[in-house]
Homo-oligomer: A and B are copies of this chain.
Amino acid sequence: MNLQRYLHQRQHRIERALDRYLPKTRSPDGLEQAMRYGVFAGGKRLRPILALATCECLGSPTTPVVPFACAIEFIHAYSLIHDDLPAMDDDVLRRGKPTTHVKFGEATAILAGDALLTEAFRIMGEAAVRAGALRPVAVQALVEIAQAAGIHGMVGGQAADMAAEGTTIDLPRLEFIHVRKTGALIRAAVRTGALLGNARADQLRRLTRYADRFGLAFQVTDDILDAEAPTDVTGKTVGRDRARRKAAYPALLGLSASKDRARDLVAAALRELQPFGPAAEPLRALARFVVSRCGDT
């Protein structure tokens, strides 16, 4: 399959939906503009595409997945806005553009993040109201996304990551942080696609394992990219994580072993997809894409 074309089409579908879900008004306080800036700062839409691709691999219609996929992207966007704040990671550049608080001020950036998180749940709630026979799995997906975004997921991971800064951590602690900070929302994206795609229990288990391996591979390659790529690729200052001694695989395992680990994780993710046949081709291509970013296809 042509992954670039697939990604382009799905990105386009998600971005049209994100645009519909964002407020159209422009208020003098800049809140709506800051929300839009944070969401349209140029992401790959990996999480929403994973949700769609998972539903597709089950041969189910994807329309009910779209609001949940957009809600997950809103949550991802809010987390980046808040993580970049001066009190947190203090980043002035993301994907080569000024971060939201640099562009709109700190107060508006905090409120834009709060608003995106809140709107995410409004979108999912409204979708659940309209879901008809799918309502029980829609409410279940909302709960899983909330769990993934909260103290036992993304926010807890970010807090643990900040507490680990400047300290020496071992591999189990690093994976504890990564599983929460990025893994949980990736898992929730895949499970949302599976739940709304009416997956059987055994299919849900396999897809969840795929998601967990995918999420960890994604984080390992992100750390590798951050350690070795120039700014014009990551859009961040080179080696910024390493310079601040943030939790990172290359520092713990070395570069070569980190790449091996990413490849092994992707191979394990692919094994879980075997029973799904050709319909899982997008999920396979997405997993391969993750390691290909480091030049190790």
A residues contacting B by CB (< 8 A) are 23, 27-32, 35, 78, 82, 85, 87-88, 105-108, 110-111, 113-115, 117-119, 121-122, 125-126, 128-129, 135-136, 139-140, 142-143, 146-147, 149-151, 155-156, 158-160, 162-163
Chain B residues within an 8 Å CB radius of A28: 163
- For the complex, give the distance between the alpha carbons of A139 and B106 in Å: 33
The residue that A110 contacts in the complex, of B110, B125, B140, with Cβ under 8 A, is B110
The residue that A122 contacts in the complex, of B29, B122, B147, with Cβ under 8 A, is B147
Residue picked from A140, A156, A160, most chain B C-beta under 10 Å = A156
- For the complex, give the distance between the alpha carbons of A113 and B155 in Å: 10
B155 pairs with A115, CB closer than 8 A: yes
With A88-B110, A125-B139, A139-B139 as given contacts, are A146 and B160 in contact (CB-CB < 8 Å)? no
Chain B residues within an 8 Å CB radius of A108: 159
**Interface of chain A, main secondary structure:** helix
Chain B residues within an 8 Å CB radius of A117: 114, 117-118
A155 pairs with B106, CB closer than 8 A: no
Chain B residue at minimal CB-CB distance from A119:
B150
B29 pairs with A151, CB closer than 8 A: no
Chain B residues within an 8 Å CB radius of A105: 87
B118 pairs with A159, CB closer than 8 A: no
- For the complex, give the distance between the alpha carbons of A225 and B107 in Å: 26
- For the complex, give the distance between the alpha carbons of A160 and B87 in Å: 23
Q: What 14 additional pairs, Cβ within 8 angstroms, besides A87-B105, A118-B155?
A: A27-B160, A31-B151, A35-B151, A82-B110, A82-B111, A87-B107, A87-B110, A108-B159, A113-B114, A118-B150, A122-B146, A122-B150, A129-B136, A135-B139
Can you offer 26 A-B residue contacts whose CB atoms are under 8 A?
A27-B156, A29-B163, A31-B159, A32-B151, A35-B151, A82-B111, A82-B114, A85-B110, A87-B107, A88-B107, A108-B159, A111-B155, A111-B162, A114-B114, A115-B155, A117-B118, A118-B146, A118-B150, A118-B151, A121-B121, A121-B142, A125-B139, A125-B142, A128-B139, A129-B139, A129-B143
- For the complex, give the distance between the alpha carbons of A109 and B92 in Å: 21
Chain B residues within an 8 Å CB radius of A29: 159-160, 162-163
